Amino acid sequence: MSTARDSLKTARRIVIKVGTSTLAHADSGKLNLYRIEHLVREIADLHNAGKEIIFVSSGAIAAGMNKLGIKIKPPTIPENQALAAIGQGILMHIYEKFFAEYGQTIGQILLTKENAADEHTRENSRNSLRAILDMGAIPVVNENDAVGVDEIRIGDNDNLSAIVAAMTDSEVLIILSDIDGLYDKNPNVDKTARLIDEVPEIDAEIEQIAGGAGTKLGTGGMFTKIQAAKFATSNGVTMLIVNGSTNGNLRRALNGEHIGTIFPRKVT
């Protein structure tokens, strides 16, 4: 019996993060409109139920590549910045259309490390996010990759979403992934891998499972999700990793059902 799962039922302010692998078709790389529409509908319904939702979405570069018919991510920073600039508008156009169909208003926030991770300058971002929520709208957040270079980038939206959750005093962060949650071994490599229901403590063993820094996995995948979980839970935010490919998973997770992996918050 997990009290952390029970506490999800009463959560009021929730950050939901979705990655490119959930938003795009694996084979073509094109946006998965069916999935995006179902996700938007579920978020709109949570909003109707009285929740405050902050939506962190990747997918700008993928959308830009689609638009221009580019199959392989280009090597230079300016090219990727340009694709992010082109794709971000496309992504917002789709979100605007789908959210409007369910009567919701959205507001775009693009962040860099300077105005998200820097504690002295993030006050403005916090105020803006709160004002959007107070107006009854849904902030749609992404890293500002159109101007981002390594020095000012957070680098991945798992960590960005944890920072956003902490700065807005959100109770829960739900990371939608292309997998059911954290497994005790990489399930792509070992078929005996088992899904972990709850991670009460992020210790060396958990970090090892996710692929420690310096390994091949250390550049993304579960590694950045565990980093995000560490930051979120130590800042009073309970985090969940849930499969974003199954319709209804957000609602099920927030009903306290045992899906995905939960990382209970350390402080309240």
Binding site for ligand ADP (CB under 6 A): 19-22, 177-179, 182-183, 185-188, 209, 217, 220-222
Contact in structure between 145 and 112 (CB atoms under 8 Å): no
Cβ nearer to ligand ADP, comparing 105 with 215: 215
Cβ nearer to ligand ADP, comparing 58 with 81: 58
Q: How remote is the C-alpha of 97 from its chain's centroid?
A: 21
Can you name the residues that pair with 243 across neighbouring β-strands?
Answer: 177
Minimum distance of ligand ADP from residue 186's CB (angstroms): 4
Cβ nearer to ligand ADP, comparing 90 with 217: 217
Cβ nearer to ligand ADP, comparing 221 with 264: 221
Minimum distance of ligand ADP from residue 19's CB (angstroms): 3
Residue where the block lists tokens 């405050």: 52
Report the C-alpha gap between 228 and 214 in whole angstroms: 18
Minimum distance of ligand ADP from residue 219's CB (angstroms): 9
> Smallest Cα–Cα separation from 161: which of 151, 148, 175, 149?
175
Cβ nearer to ligand ADP, comparing 137 with 202: 202
CA distance readout (Å), 117 to 123, 160, 193: 10, 8, 34
Minimum distance of ligand ADP from residue 179's CB (angstroms): 4
Pairing relationship of beta strands 238-243 and 261-263 according to DSSP bridges: antiparallel
Q: What is the DSSP string of 48-65?
A: HTT-EEEEEE--HHHHHH
Minimum distance of ligand ADP from residue 47's CB (angstroms): 23
Nearest residue to ligand ADP on Cβ basis? 19
